[in-house]
């Protein structure tokens, strides 16, 4: 049976402009159905997921309530979003299997990801998080807190934080143990890229940063010996000259071709770039195949009839 890490993008968790609970549940139920399709097709799954809108909402709640309760640091907010989305996913997956007459279930693992404290990202924060601040006075106060603020292209100001590269998933052995368990549970791990931690003595300490979900999924896949990495995104295929009249959709890429296009600037850092980087890391670490596709065509994509395959 093929072991696949399936990285679920943000649009498969909630619609772009509606992160309310009802909308999230509807999207997650659809995602659970597609994941069950993959299991029925013979794949053993580990599920990872994004958390951008959800952790942003938690940060807004922190700011709005900071005069009444202590605000939590970013690593704790990532953990909160992991548990929130993991709960909804594991419930939806179990319900989907039950509707198909199966006793399969899922188990969420609140996951830490080791990063290098000397990673250059800590000196050059670039990842926007949290709300947009419109008033200059607010920005002055937030800078006094030590936050780095940048102008948002759509207006206002946003906080930016480091996005260091993931090195190892702390709980990867626990994920592997769940896979070996007799109840055939599907692990849900590395949500939102995992909680970034750095080594401290004999243990770890959380840091104020966020980790890219797809890069963390590649690290997890390598750590547990997965054969396949499936990246579910909001486009049906990887494309060259995306967003132009000369767009070319790609059915298949070699790692060398993918690296060439990445270095040529075809895959921007804020969209397809990290996905291609994750694909290359996974393959260089022993993975056999990467598939990038949207949710509706993911089953066809893993059999080579849709999406983009890198192998």
Quick one: pLDDT at residue 216? 98
Burial class (CB in 10 A: 0-12, 13-18, 19+), 244: exposed
Which residues in 37-170 belong to E strands, given as ranges? Answer: 43-49, 106-108, 112-115, 127-133, 148-151, 157-161, 166-169
Sketch out the chain's domains with CATH numbers. Answer: 2-116+167-310 (3.40.1160.10), 125-161 (no CATH)
Active site residues: 10-11, 127, 213, 275
Helix axes 213-224, 273-284, angle to 10 degrees: 10
Which stretches of the chain drop beneath a pLDDT of 50? none
Quick one: pLDDT at residue 217? 98
Quick one: pLDDT at residue 203? 96
Quick one: pLDDT at residue 302? 97
Quick one: pLDDT at residue 149? 84
In angstroms, rounded to a whole number, what is the distance separating the alpha carbons of residues 189 and 86? 8
Instruction: List all residues 6 or more positions away from 70 whose beta carbon is below 8 Å from its beta carbon.
Output: none
Cα distance between the two ends of the chain: 19
Quick one: pLDDT at residue 162? 94
**What is the pTM for the complete model shown?**
0.92
């Amino acid at each position: 049976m093929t072991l696949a890490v399936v990285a679920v993008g943000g649009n498969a968790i909630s619609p772009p402009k509606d992160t309310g609970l009802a909308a999230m549940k509807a999207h997650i139920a659809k995602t659970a159905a597609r994941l069950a399709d993959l299991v029925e097709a013979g794949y053993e799954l580990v599920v990872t997921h994004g958390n951008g809108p959800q952790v942003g909402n938690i940060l807004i709640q922190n700011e709005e309530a900071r005069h009444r309760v202590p605000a939590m640091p970013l690593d704790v907010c990532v953990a909160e979003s992991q548990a929130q989305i993991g709960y909804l996913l594991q419930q939806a997956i179990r319900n989907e299997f039950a509707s198909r007459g199966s006793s399969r279930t899922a188990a969420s693992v609140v996951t830490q990801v080791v990063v290098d404290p000397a990673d250059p990202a800590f000196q050059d924060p670039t990842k926007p998080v949290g709300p947009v601040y419109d008033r200059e006075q607010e920005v002055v106060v937030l800078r006094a807190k030590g936050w780095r603020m940048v102008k948002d292209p759509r207006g206002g100001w946003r906080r930016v934080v480091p996005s260091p590269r993931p090195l190892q998933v702390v709980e990867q052995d626990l994920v592997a143990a769940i896979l070996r368990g007799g109840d055939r549970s599907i692990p849900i791990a590395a949500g939102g890229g995992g909680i970034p931690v750095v080594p401290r003595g004999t243990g770890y300490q959380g840091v104020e940063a966020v980790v890219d979900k797809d890069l963390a999924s590649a690290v997890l896949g390598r750590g547990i010996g997965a054969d396949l990495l499936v990246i579910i995104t909001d486009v049906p295929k990887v494309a060259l000259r995306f967003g132009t009249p000369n767009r070319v959709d790609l059915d298949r890429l070699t790692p060398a071709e993918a690296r060439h296009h990445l270095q040529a600037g075809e895959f921007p850092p804020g969209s397809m770039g990290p996905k291609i980087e994750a694909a290359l890391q996974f393959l260089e670490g022993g993975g056999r195949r990467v598939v990038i596709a949207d949710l509706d065509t993911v089953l066809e994509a893993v059999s080579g009839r849709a999406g983009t395959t890198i192998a």
